[in-house]
Amino acid sequence: MTSKRDMVHLYYDSKTGNVQRFINKVIQITGWHAHKIEDDLIIQEEGHLVTFTTKLGCVPDKTQSFMSRNARKIFSVTASGNRNWGKNFGLAANKISEDYDVPLAMKFELSGTMEDINQFIDIIKYQYNDSKRGSKKLDIA
């Protein structure tokens, strides 16, 4: 029998390896399924997006293209960034959330700390996993 935790799908984009390292730790702990975003990826399973912020606050081109094809199947967005960028820290997550009406789960710096990884797992498990929603926004009390 497949458990609920086995049904979580993470879609990620990583340029420098920071998001890849974050995802590797998450799947090591949870056993969730991770899929690296490729140019032509069209997803079958609903899931969560983890990406990075580039050019001082921009959404990466590959992530933007992925979302234009798959946004309706994405439950949440999380982004890596660098706090040295100030107000632009993890700004890709804000832009994706706004542009595609997808809830922002969290932001983390570089490849994240163990605290970030555990927080992400908790957010996905208890707030966004298997959410049945009538709209892109989730009603979380």
pLDDT of 126 reads 84
Which residues are registered as beta bridge partners of 123? none
pTM score of the predicted model: 0.85
Please enumerate in sequence order all residues whose Cβ is within 8 A of that of 99, keeping only pairs 6 or more positions apart, or say none: 67
pLDDT tens by residue, 75-95: 999 999 999 888 999 999 999
The beta strands (E) that lie in the chain are given as 9-12, 33-36, 47-52, 74-81, 104-109
pLDDT of 2 reads 45
Q: What radius of gyration do the chain's Cα atoms show?
A: 14
pLDDT of 56 reads 81
pLDDT of 41 reads 83
- Annotation: CATH topology of 4-128: Rossmann fold (3.40.50)
pLDDT of 128 reads 63
Low-confidence ranges of the chain (pLDDT < 50): 1-2, 4-5, 130-141
Domain boundaries, the chain: 4-128
Three-state secondary structure call for residue 130: coil
Write the Ramachandran bin of 101: left for phi over 0, alpha for psi from -120 to 50, otherwise beta. left
